[in-house]
Chains A and B, each alone.
Chain A
Amino acid sequence: MNKNNITNPLERRRVQFGYSQNDISKLLGITQSQYSRIEKGISDPNKHLKKLSDIFNCMPNEVFQGEILREIENDFINDPKNSFQRLFHKRKSGYVHLNIQGWFTKKQVINNYKMLINELEDWKVNEYGIRWKWLTMDEPNWAMVNFPKIDFQDIYYYSAPKTKPKLNSLDEVDPELLKTYEKLGIPIKEQEVLAGVAVDYVFDSVSVATTFRDKLADEGIIFCPISEAVQNYPDLVKKYIGSVIPIGDNYYAALNSAVFTDGSFVYVPKGVKCPMELSTYFRINEQNSGQFERTLIIVEDNAYVSYLEGCTAPQRDENQLHAAVVELVAMDDAEIKYSTVQNWYPGDKDGKGGIYNFVTKRGNCLGKRSKISWTQVETGSAITWKYPSCVLRGDNSVGEFYSVAVANNAQQADTGTKMIHIGNNTKSTIISKGISAGKAQNTYRGQVQIQKNAKGSRNFTQCDSLLIGDQCGAHTVPYINQHTPSARVEHEATTSKISEDQLFYCLQRGLDTEQATSLIVNGFCKEVMKELPMEFAVEAQKLIGISLEGSVG
């Protein structure tokens, strides 16, 4: 439907905001037909005017006038950054204050927000067709994690670093920021030189720098912030974004779709093997802000890319939300290797503070013989809620999932994967190692689904859990749905603690208990560690050692 042809002002406004009749009726608490009658002017709208004006962010008397308040819109377009500052003066009540218009509710924050930033937002609404689906959804509660309800009104949905956001090279980055990296033991420069890693840095909501872009461009590879990709390669982005993870996929994906502002975009053309590891570092600097980045990786026929993701955040007493969405698309014979070392701030010993990591990651093996491999080392976050999945659509495609999840102190991790076999002869391997220490709870939750036509498919799943201390918990919740006889699914899981014999052996040879534990744990995770790229493996191994500190004795 062409939105310019709509003559009904209310409908026009609704379409402009990307709502369906159903969405609005839900927000108003009436049935769709009742709303439809209001829209058509059959019913009396007076009862709902207040709410409608909330939803459409206008004065009640303007609900039935076609246009959004021009004045505000122009203000945002002319000077987006400053109007932003004006908008997000947070007050104690949890509402967000906008100088021009008064108090804002959660709905309005989201609605306003879309006008705020730049073309990306216009594009998101007009072309990507985001409806504010998120508002009509409920928070999921099936995961085995406990946390106080998140106040979504109390989150900054956008915050830009104080330095100039767009830089041409790493040298222009604020030295303070570089220092922070070095403190964290991630010597970027060194990595660049030694490993030739191209890095995209996403600070808070903005991508600050991307290195090696020219070199990659020579090969035809596009590696840039997604906000730029939207401007420069709109067709590509438009075609694939949301194709793997639809807007309404789950609560947090819907939230991300509504408010994402930046992230990474990778496109590898036909037949190109990406000569270096691509890498992104995510970091949440600003207090109270959530991070909602979006990653889209498209690999054409016969191409290959290896992508690394690292995450950090400084210590804060408050819980912060990280709700990212990662979409991978692999064509015929393509291969994507996606590795994550996640080291968000896990909170202190008693579970105060820390990041809530609610991430949706999914890869689509669209082409024949394509391969997607997820490797993750999860050491941080107060709560991890993450299920990197593969949809094996092409015949003979391969999905892999290797995971180490370490939870110490009061951390809670509910992580796993989904392997959806659709094409013939598809194969998947799941190796998951969970380690719990302190008072942590660690859950593996995974699904293997073999659909009717996935003849000759194979799956092998192994999930092992290791318990350190008698206060922690390790849980395994696998789902197997098999619909074709010629496929085979195998699942095995064990749970145990570090055996006395192993410890004794190490102690006898002069290691102390902590070293011995670390050694045994690293041995336990070896199968996964060997899947990580070299320089990441070392970092990951250290991380595991650090996160288990103090768990013994």
Chain B
Amino acid sequence: MQHSIKDDYINSLKNYTNQFKDTNFRRIACNDFKSWPGPREETWRLSRLGSLSRKKIKPINPNFKKNNTNTSKLNGSTIIQFIDGAFREDLSSDMPSGVNLSILGDSESLEYLQKIKKSNLSNHPSTNASLSCTPSIMKLTVTKDTKVKDFFEIIYEGGENSQSVHPVLYIELKENSSLYLIERFNHLTSLAMPLQLTELRNKASLNSIKIFNDYKETHNLSANCAYLSEKSNLNSFSLIKGGIFTRSETHAYLNGCGAKLNLNGIYISGNKQHHDLTTAIYHDVSDCTSKQIVRGVLGGKSTGVFQGKVKVAKHAQRTDGQQMSRAILLSDSASANAKPELEIYADDVICAHGATVGELDDDQLFYLNSRGVPMNKAREILIKAFLEDIINQSVDKSLHNFVFKEAELALSSILTKEKSYNETL
């Protein structure tokens, strides 16, 4: 039975793409969607899509009349609004000078597809499904030497039960430009498959914050691919807290000497949530730096996964690759998996990774306890400190409060649920 339902999604993809005749990239992508990745595929072993493939899901037909957005915007930011996976010009702000937002034509879309297919994301389900069903591929370009001062806020909303949304984005930062981007995923749908390709030209700098806060029954399979040229700089921070199943997969290719990459992330999971942060960093040339710090807090029956791969190619000498992942388990039924992987073919490198999984440190708890802080409060303080540390490192100062509040919201719901557990201790 399961088998036929799996085919079901492929068929609905095919039906959907039949609407668009003569669009090569959709046809190619649709043909490449073979099936959902099974547990036998190494990168999906820890994150299984069984429950998803048993659901009946169809690609959404975007409704351009919807305009009820519930996400409260940040002050003074430039808004780019997606509803049902489609860009909504009427709800978005005007672009400042030096920034262009456009829809890719068919031939450019084909190029886009080829660029994604070159990466290791070529078989990711989001790649193929989203490219075949997206309403349009949006391209955000920052022209040469433009330093954008305001924050850019991309808000993804909409979607309905049993439907899948497919926002596809192409971000290009030309030479010597910079941008600060905040992406917020607030989908109400069963399945969200955002796909993003980022290209940073020489000396470009992109700061990006992704907040995954989808509806509690949403599967979010986000796929990101980034190409970094010489001396470019990418600072990425992801906060995963929503959805029943969220997997943020990022593949970063360091193609220019002196490129710098920070890929930090936090996952806060409760109930039966499954959160997965998968990254792969490819050091293809010399003198690049990559850093990764990942923290997880897990309560309820949740599971957390961190898979990080650093691959250093043969001639990528003087590479510095650091990776650190820590997870804290708050409940008996939570579990954490980590797979930090190093694959190194060059000798003059400094690569290290560390991973720990455990509970809060007894000594620290005792310290606070002995100073009159009750156990619950002490735990809260320690967990917040555990997260605040990394937020401070990876987020602009003016956004500290905003990001921290988002984290706190998720945290408080877990902590109240774990309260009874704490008291029994």
Interface residues of A (CB under 8 A from B): 142, 144, 452, 465, 467-497
Knowing A474-B342, A485-B359, A488-B358, the reply to whether A495 touches B351 (Cβ < 8 A) is yes
Interface: B382 (CB within 8 A): no
Q: How far is the CA of A490 from the CA of B347 in the complex (A)?
A: 26
Q: Are B317 and A470 in contact (CB under 8 A)?
A: yes
Knowing A482-B357, A485-B332, A492-B353, the reply to whether A476 touches B342 (Cβ < 8 A) is yes
Knowing A485-B332, A493-B352, A495-B352, the reply to whether A480 touches B341 (Cβ < 8 A) is no
Knowing A485-B330, A489-B358, A490-B356, the reply to whether A475 touches B317 (Cβ < 8 A) is no
Q: How far is the CB of A486 from chain B (nearest CB, A)?
A: 6
- Residues of A within 8 Å of B331, CB to CB, are 485
Q: How far is the CB of A387 from chain B (nearest CB, A)?
A: 16
Q: Are A481 and B340 in contact (CB under 8 A)?
A: no
Interface: B350 (CB within 8 A): yes
Partner of A469, one of B317, B335, B347, B355: B347
- Residues of A within 8 Å of B315, CB to CB, are 470
Interface of A is mostly: strand
17 contacts between A and B (CB under 8 A): A452-B332, A465-B344, A467-B347, A470-B314, A470-B315, A476-B341, A480-B338, A481-B335, A482-B336, A482-B337, A485-B331, A485-B332, A485-B358, A487-B357, A490-B354, A490-B358, A495-B352
- Residues of A within 8 Å of B342, CB to CB, are 465, 474-477, 493, 495
Q: Which residue of B lies closest to A500 (CB)?
A: B348
Q: How far is the CB of B341 from chain A (nearest CB, A)?
A: 5
Interface of B is mostly: strand
Interface: B90 (CB within 8 A): no
Interface residues of B (CB under 8 A from A): 42, 314-315, 317, 327, 329-332, 334-359
Q: Are A473 and B345 in contact (CB under 8 A)?
A: yes
Q: Are A484 and B351 in contact (CB under 8 A)?
A: no
Q: Which residue of B lies closest to A486 (CB)?
A: B359
Q: Which residue of A lies closest to B348 (CB)?
A: A497
Q: Are B344 and A493 in contact (CB under 8 A)?
A: no
Q: Are B349 and A489 in contact (CB under 8 A)?
A: no
Q: How far is the CB of A497 from chain B (nearest CB, A)?
A: 4
Knowing A465-B344, A474-B342, A482-B337, the reply to whether A488 touches B349 (Cβ < 8 A) is no
Q: How far is the CA of A142 from the CA of B331 in the complex (A)?
A: 33
Q: How far is the CA of A486 from the CA of B331 in the complex (A)?
A: 9
Q: How far is the CB of A378 from chain B (nearest CB, A)?
A: 19
- Residues of A within 8 Å of B332, CB to CB, are 452, 484-485
Q: Which residue of B lies closest to A451 (CB)?
A: B335
- Residues of B within 8 Å of A485, CB to CB, are 329-332, 334, 358-359
Q: How far is the CA of A253 from the CA of B336 in the complex (A)?
A: 30
Q: Are B359 and A493 in contact (CB under 8 A)?
A: no
Q: Are B344 and A477 in contact (CB under 8 A)?
A: no
Q: Which residue of A lies closest to B345 (CB)?
A: A473
Q: Are A476 and B348 in contact (CB under 8 A)?
A: no
- Residues of A within 8 Å of B317, CB to CB, are 470
Knowing A470-B346, A495-B351, the reply to whether A482 touches B327 (Cβ < 8 A) is yes
Partner of B356, one of A142, A467, A473, A491: A491
Q: Are B356 and A468 in contact (CB under 8 A)?
A: no
Q: How far is the CB of B60 from chain A (nearest CB, A)?
A: 36
Partner of A480, one of B42, B336, B343: B336
- Residues of B within 8 Å of A475, CB to CB, are 341-344
Q: Are B355 and A489 in contact (CB under 8 A)?
A: yes
Q: How far is the CA of A481 from the CA of B357 in the complex (A)?
A: 9
Knowing A470-B314, A488-B357, A489-B358, the reply to whether A478 touches B344 (Cβ < 8 A) is no
- Residues of A within 8 Å of B356, CB to CB, are 488-491
Q: Are A470 and B348 in contact (CB under 8 A)?
A: yes
Q: How far is the CA of A226 from the CA of B148 in the complex (A)?
A: 76
Q: Which residue of A lies closest to B326 (CB)?
A: A490
Q: How far is the CA of A496 from the CA of B339 in the complex (A)?
A: 20
- Residues of A within 8 Å of B359, CB to CB, are 485-486, 488
